[in-house]
Structure 1
Amino acid sequence: MISVHAVIEAALAQSPSDLHLSVGVPPVCRVNGQLVRINDLGIINSETMESWLAELLSQNQLLELRNKGDLDISLTPRADHAVRMRLNAYRQRGSYSVALRVLNQDIPSFEDLGIPRSIGERFCNMHHGLVLVTGPTGTGKTTSISAMIDWINHNRACHVITIEDPIEYFHKHDRSMVHQRETGTDTANFATALRGALREDPDVLFIGEMRDLESVATALTAAETGHLVFSTLHTIGAAKTIDRIIDVFPMNQQQQIRVQLASTLQGIISQQLLLTADGTSRALAAEIMIATPAIRNMIRENHVQMVDSVITTNAKIGMCSLDASLVRLVKEGRVAADEARVYSSTPEQFDQMLKRH
């Protein structure tokens, strides 16, 4: 029986973002957004899966998986610690499956990611408020925020606290002190860690994800009381992100939250990753919203549907609609027009913009 570590090494040779292990199929990698089977490793059976889990997990972790039905941890499958991965094991149809996300060791720059440096530095130089990076799973939200934390670490004297599930990038103290807490290991959950963080003299907080009413409410309070807060949401577009935050709360609290969000929100970057024209990598398309007085008023007055038009007409101050970002990628030859159109929120408008260019 092949070792799971040998399977991981074979998968890493393909430079995947994820590796899936499931009974009844060969190991499957996600490479540049596409699922690719590693057929020469053979089909996984239940006995093999049980053996692999015993290789990867401690006895306590195996017990938690059997009792709860799922487990989420980080691990270093290589002895030299050159690769870190996030492991999610879960039970389905009577057997176990494993999803492994490859965590990059090197923190990319704004240029590497495709985020305008002026925008990245603008958000990093703020001293309070809420900055959100949003998008579907696997679009690099945590990577973008980690690039901002890295910039702050090297350029500002701050106390930074991160609350992550799991920790994806390690930050070494530089001009800033960066303390990183992993849920399940260093703290019970996001809400508990976030409440504690407010008593730990932070300047900057990174919340891996605003998951529930308590964590959203605490993040807003932290942003309102003089902290710079970064977080992520699984939403597409600035307007939908604003609506999602408000909708977390009961109806009788929503007007109060609109006022609070209007005063604290500094900006939103909403990301999509597209396969490049040559098929060798992925390119970032990003909608960028900066909270201007007009947008703050729209949030307060419950006119969030007008935010998209403000983004479209304020390119001169750094805002960018998703369609404009997609058109730029096509114009630069980095992404095929058909691929970009799939991700457009308004395909007809995208077509018109592309014709003008």
Structure 2
Amino acid sequence: MSIVNLSQILSFAAEKGASDIHFQVGAPPLLRHYGELYPLKHPPLTEEDTLLIGRTLAKFEDNEKFKREVKDYDGSFALADVARFRVNVFRQNGRYAAVLRLLPFKARSFEELNLPKVLEKIASLKRGLILVTGPTGNGKSTTLAAIINYINQKRRAHIITIEDPIEYLFEKNLSVISQREIGPDSESFATALRAAMRQDPDIIMVGELRDHLTIDTCMKAAETGHLVMTSIHTPDIMRTLNRILGYFPPEEQLSVRQRLSENLLAVISQQLLPKMDKTGMIPACEIMLVNKTIEMCLKNPEKTDTIMKHIAKNRDVGMQTFDQHLIELVKTRKISMDDAMIAAEQAEQLERDMTLEP
């Protein structure tokens, strides 16, 4: 495979609207399209092919230096006038492989992404902590970018993003946006976060919560009057709360609950499902907005399990469970009943509720 051939494959993937591209020895390149992997009409890749692909994506000129220094590589790659890609190069069975995620040049709007209207309300909040959660590859970064894009159109603010790597590039509008990448610009999320506090920010976006220190620093930033947004790899609201608490030792968890109750503004948990018309994917969202009742539930371990009941009862202010949103998506013919049943938290209850919903 030549560099020209690699460029052609990346261009083709962008043209077809693929979300991911896989390169591995012994198989043709694979494109993920609407959740499914499809092989390209291409000969199986050789060890030399994936070495060249990995070296090119990691921006090394020398094969031997690349092989000595790179076993895992995270970064970004741009194909001029075509697309940007989030890149992971890795070794498996002693040979190189790579997975690329396509990144649109521009962040999209809530409407373009089919996100609930309440996200406009969430994006208008001024101080506190907003969490966007979901499994890998389910649009968390895209939703965070849409929130920043909305703020950029509505407010004069200094927005600092801390990412690994930088995914979306934001155009100047009303806000000033400083984008920092782990590696080239700072050594870690926690270090960059502490530095951001001295850079006169209004809004800080942290690409991902990965450890106790980053979570603690995010909460400190929210406590000092900033709007902090970040993502975490958890499938729903309750497991998000449990994950955050689990990062802290038992003797600190009551104080962490207090801090969450005072600073957490909203949690948006999402998963992508195939559209009914097969033209793409659409998010199903579970949304919690912290009010006085949920504050009390966050503080009190004995009441935390009732949070989902409060969410289900407060649809009028924009809260919703996954299953409530699935019912709405089925009734508006955006997803199929079969896909809703597969994704449902409580499939039998969802089927019963479908007959009761107006």
The 8 Å contact of residues 209 and 215 in structure 2, kept in 1 or not, is answered as: yes
Q: CA shift at 1:272, angstroms? A: 0.8
Normalized against structure 1, the TM-score is what?
0.95
| CA distance, structure 1, for counterparts of residue 152 and residue 338 of structure 2 | 40
Tell me the distance in 2 between the aligned counterparts of 1:4 and 1:306. 52
CA RMSD of aligned residues (A): 1.6
Deviations 1:153-182 (A, max 9, x none): 121111110001111111123221110101
Displacement of 1:191 after TM fit? Answer: 1.1
Give the aligned residue type for 2:116. P
Equivalence map 1:191-340=2 (5 Å): 191-302=190-301, 303-340=303-340
What is the CA distance between 1:58 and its match in structure 2?
2.5
State whether residues 65 and 71 of structure 1, in contact with CA within 8 Å, keep that contact through their aligned partners in structure 2: no
Give the letter for the 2:220 counterpart.
T
List per-residue Cα deviations over 1:38-81 (Å, max 9, x = no partner).
1x2110110111122333332389746643510001011x2x34
Amino acid at match of 1:253: E
Between the aligned partners of 2:295 and 2:66, the Cα distance in structure 1 is 45
Contact 1:4–1:55 (Cα < 8 Å) also in 2: no
Q: Aligned letter for 1:356?
A: L
SS of corresponding position for 1:333: coil
What code does the residue aligned with 1:345 have? E
Q: For residues 276 and 54 of structure 1, what CA distance do their matches in structure 2 show?
A: 37
CA–CA separation in structure 2 for the residues paired with 1:322 and 1:65: 45
SS at match of 1:53: helix
Distance (whole Å) between structure 2 residues aligned to residue 181 and residue 60 of structure 1: 25
Tell me, what secondary structure is at the counterpart of 2:106? coil
Counterpart residue number, 2:159: 160
Deviation string 1:110-152 (CA, Å, 9 cap, x unpaired) is: 11112223x2221222111001110011111111111111111
Q: Which amino acid aligns with 1:33?
A: G
Match of 1:178 in 2: 177
Deviations 1:11-57 (A, max 9, x none): 3332100000001111001001111111x211011011112233333
Instruction: Name the CA distance, whole Å, in 1 between partners of 2:159 and 2:17.
Output: 31
The residue type paired with residue 47 of structure 1 is E
> Which consecutive unaligned segments of at least 5 residues does structure 2 have?
none
Normalized against structure 2, the TM-score is what? 0.95
The alpha-carbon distance between structure 1 residues 52 and 229, as it changes in their structure 2 partners (threshold 3 A), is same
Letter in 2 for 1:320: Q
**Pairs within 5 Å for 1:74-223:** 74-76=76-78, 78=79, 80-117=80-117, 119-223=118-222
Matched, 1:15 2:17: yes
The CA distance in 1 between the partners of 2:285 and 2:208, in whole Å, is: 19
Seq. identity, %: 36
CA separation in 1, counterparts of 2:167 and 2:123?
Answer: 19
1:328 deviates by 0.8
Structure 1 gaps of 5+ residues are none
**Aligned equivalents of 2:229 and 2:13: distance in 1?**
32
* One-letter amino acid of the structure 2 residue matched with residue 251 of structure 1: P
Contact in 2 for aligned 1:276/1:334 (Cα 8 Å): yes
Distance in 2, Cα, partners of 1:290 & 1:345: 20
Asked if the contact 2:136/2:233 (under 8 Å) is kept, the reply is yes
Helix, strand or coil at the partner of 1:168: coil
**Separation (CA, whole Å) in 1 of partners of 2:342 and 2:45:** 34
Residues 250-282 of structure 1 deviation map (CA, whole Å, 9 limit, x = unaligned): 111111101001100000110010011222211
User: 2-side partners of 1:132 and 1:340: how far apart?
Assistant: 24
Matched to 1:85, the amino acid is F
Residue by residue over 1:319-340, the C-alpha shift from the partner in whole angstroms, topping out at 9 and shown as x without a partner, is 1110011111111111110111
Contact kept in structure 2, 1:161 and 1:206, CA below 8 Å: yes
**Secondary structure of the corresponding residue to residue 316 of structure 1:** helix
Q: Which stretch of the first structure deviates more once superposed, 209-218 or 300-309?
A: 300-309
Aligned residues of 1:135 and 1:233 also touching (Cα < 8 A): yes
Q: Is the 8 A contact 1:7 1:41 kept in 2?
A: no
Partner of 2:27: 25
- The ranges of structure 1 where at least 4 consecutive aligned residues each deviate by more than 2 angstroms after the TM superposition are 9-14, 51-68
**Separation of aligned partners in 2, 1:75 and 1:258:** 40
State how far apart, in whole Å, the 2-side matches of 1:75 and 1:92 are: 21
3-state DSSP of counterpart to 2:305 = helix
Partner of 2:348: 348
Q: Using the alignment, how far apart are the partners of 1:334 and 1:121 within structure 2?
A: 21
Per-residue CA deviations over 1:63-108 (Å, capped at 9, x if unaligned) read 46643510001011x2x34311011000011111100100011211
User: Which amino acid in the other structure matches residue 231 of structure 2?
Assistant: T
**2-structure distance, mates of 1:82, 1:9:** 6
Cα distance in 2 for residues equivalent to 1:332 and 1:9 = 34
Counterpart amino acid of residue 14 in structure 1: K
